């Protein structure tokens, strides 16, 4: 089984309502007489952990209540702490229930607010709201920092902990407080949770051009894009504007398939890691690409798979990238399944564009920089208008 088949990239962060799922990388079971040599703790450390448990059982004020001192909760808490100690927000442990829930998102429907978040130096940062979700409708923006949820500070909490605070029944509201750049005061948002249904691709005819908004790279994106391009050709479109603004990424295979609809051959992305099997190069599938002039819109909410697609387009000089520098999430997470049906996602490599540029923590610079944000009123959307004018020029129009 190739690395491509085993690894599917996580989105840039955690999606509120459920976590994004990934591919599978099986962990070999520890067997043999040398197993004990690999234990990460000394006998004294193990004894201290046991002593802590006994102290809690004996002295904690509610320690005698049924279920308060729970071995499984303590075990999972210890494992999460061990994983979080390496300070990589994308390397994370997931208990069996959480891992099962993660499978929902890539089917394109889940409950929540419709935002992707990550943790940076203890701060909970919005990567992007999903188009037409509750978070998008109230006006949350990429790089907003969630400071409080229902008057409780979330500083220092993991993304998973914040997710649990934001989850809840559809129809019930949650209040959050956000810090935004260049705004002096915290901004309160009251957001009503919904069952989120993701349509990954949206098509519009704009004069002689096709406007295609890709919200996420999921299992349906490649087929939905193919249908959109077929419609565009039927409408005699002379060029395509692909909007990846606020697209936080998704599945790596989906990204390669989508890129192959624009680039006929050559490298889409390479992965560079510490061990041999974490290093791989993925190529476009030949014979699928169209030859229509292409412009791609990106912003600070474009992450992961979006950056891979835009980087391939830029390096192959297949089209023009317009907007602002992307988020800078360019790492590969692999899921190691554990015997109790829990799992650990581990960052095993970083992505590089065809030219060798490492995306992680840097972001992709557009060919043409235009400051702005996505607006429902397209006439007032400076980034969209500039991208459209660049496309019209490439189409031979004034």
Catalytic residue numbers read 304, 315, 329
Burial of 113 (0-12, 13-18, 19+ CB in 10 A): buried
CB atoms within 10 A of CB 86: 9
Spell out the residues 6+ positions from residue 242 whose beta carbon is closer than 8 angstroms to its own: 212, 214, 294, 295, 296, 297
Length of the chain: 398
Cα maximum dimension of the chain: 80
Q: Which of 203, 278, 271, 276 is nearest to 243 (CA)?
A: 203
Q: Which of 83, 104, 103 is nearest to 344 (CA)?
A: 83
Alpha-helical regions (H) of 176-220: none
Cα–Cα distance for residue pair 242/203, rounded to 1 Å: 10
**Which residue shows structure tokens 């830029």?**
314
Contacts 24+ apart (CB under 8 A), 285-290: 285/256, 285/257, 285/260, 286/260, 288/260, 288/261, 288/264, 289/260, 289/261, 289/262, 289/263, 289/264, 290/229, 290/233, 290/240, 290/261, 290/262
Cα–Cα distance for residue pair 70/359, rounded to 1 Å: 42
Cα–Cα distance for residue pair 176/158, rounded to 1 Å: 16
CB 214 within 8 A of CB 228: no
Spell out the residues 6+ positions from residue 65 whose beta carbon is closer than 8 angstroms to its own: none
Collapsing DSSP states into helix, strand and coil, what is residue 176? Answer: strand
Phi, psi of 73 (to 5 degrees): -60, -40
CB 105 within 8 A of CB 18: yes
Cα angle for residues 246, 200, 210 (degrees, 5° grid):
85
């Amino acid at each position: 089984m190739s690395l491509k088949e085993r690894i599917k990239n996580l989105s840039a962060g955690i999606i509120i309502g459920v976590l994004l799922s990934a591919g599978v990388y099986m962990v070999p079971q520890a067997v043999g007489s040398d197993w004990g040599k690999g234990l990460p703790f000394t006998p004294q450390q193990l004894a201290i952990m046991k002593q802590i448990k006994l102290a809690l059982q004996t002295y904690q004020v509610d320690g005698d209540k049924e279920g308060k001192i729970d071995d499984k909760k303590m075990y999972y808490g210890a494992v999460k702490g061990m994983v979080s100690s390496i300070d990589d927000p994308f390397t994370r442990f997931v208990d069996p229930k959480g891992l099962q829930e993660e499978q929902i998102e890539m089917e394109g429907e889940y409950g929540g607010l419709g935002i992707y978040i990550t943790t940076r130096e203890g701060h909970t940062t919005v990567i992007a709201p999903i188009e037409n979700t509750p978070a998008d409708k109230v006006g949350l923006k990429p790089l907003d920092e969630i400071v409080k949820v229902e008057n409780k500070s979330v500083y220092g909490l993991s993304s998973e902990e914040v997710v649990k605070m934001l989850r809840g029944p559809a129809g019930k509201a949650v209040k959050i407080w956000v810090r935004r750049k260049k705004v002096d005061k915290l901004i309160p948002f009251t957001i009503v949770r919904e069952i989120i249904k993701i349509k990954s691709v949206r098509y519009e005819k704009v004069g002689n051009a096709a406007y295609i908004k890709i919200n996420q790279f999921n299992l349906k994106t490649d087929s939905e894009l193919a249908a959109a391009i077929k419609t565009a050709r039927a409408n005699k479109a002379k060029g395509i504007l692909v909007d990846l603004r606020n697209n936080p990424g998704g599945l790596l295979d989906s990204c390669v398939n989508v890129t192959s609809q624009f680039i006929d051959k050559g490298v889409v992305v390479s992965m560079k890691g510490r061990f041999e099997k974490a290093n791989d190069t993925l190529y476009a599938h030949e014979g699928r690409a169209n030859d229509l002039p292409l412009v791609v819109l990106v912003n600070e909410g474009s992450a992961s798979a979006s950056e891979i697609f835009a980087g391939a387009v830029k390096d192959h000089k297949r089209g023009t990238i317009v907007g602002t520098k992307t988020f800078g999430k360019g790492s590969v997470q692999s899921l190691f399944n554990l015997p109790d049906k829990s799992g650990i996602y581990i960052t095993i490599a970083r992505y590089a564009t065809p030219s060798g540029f490492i995306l992680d923590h840097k972001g992709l610079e557009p060919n043409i920089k235009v400051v702005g944000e996505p607006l429902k009123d397209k006439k007032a959307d400076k980034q969209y208008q500039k991208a459209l004018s660049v496309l019209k020029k490439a189409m031979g129009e004034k």
